[in-house]
Structure 1
């Protein structure tokens, strides 16, 4: 989990640092309806909209791993292992 968290922080930080026009205008310029056409996003992975989608997917997968890891640790702690 910590490796994922560090990787997510580095990827997100690199993405935010590379925004030439500034982070806030880039985020405000994202069209939420663009995610309804994933094929168009896959055609241009360099766009901020696609990159925010990738960050979202990484975040969701990481949270899922965290929840599963926490449940597994809780189970084995109850077993006395």
Structure 2
């Protein structure tokens, strides 16, 4: 959301939110060499760093309250209608 490049663990929830090489660099958990490589890439490749940062910002906008709020309200309404019908 801060338009910064992101390095994420390729395990757990973060792996589902980011795409390696597009809006983040993913590393395997417990792999310090992969983490060091990702950090090195961000430090030495300003173009890739800017691209990842811009893509991360766009990805984060997809999770804004303005975008997700109406979807969440609609889901709750569907749930309420279904529970009343049951």
TM above 0.5, yes or no, is: no
Q: TM-score, normalised by structure 1?
A: 0.37
Larger Rg belongs to: 2
Q: TM-score, normalised by structure 2?
A: 0.36
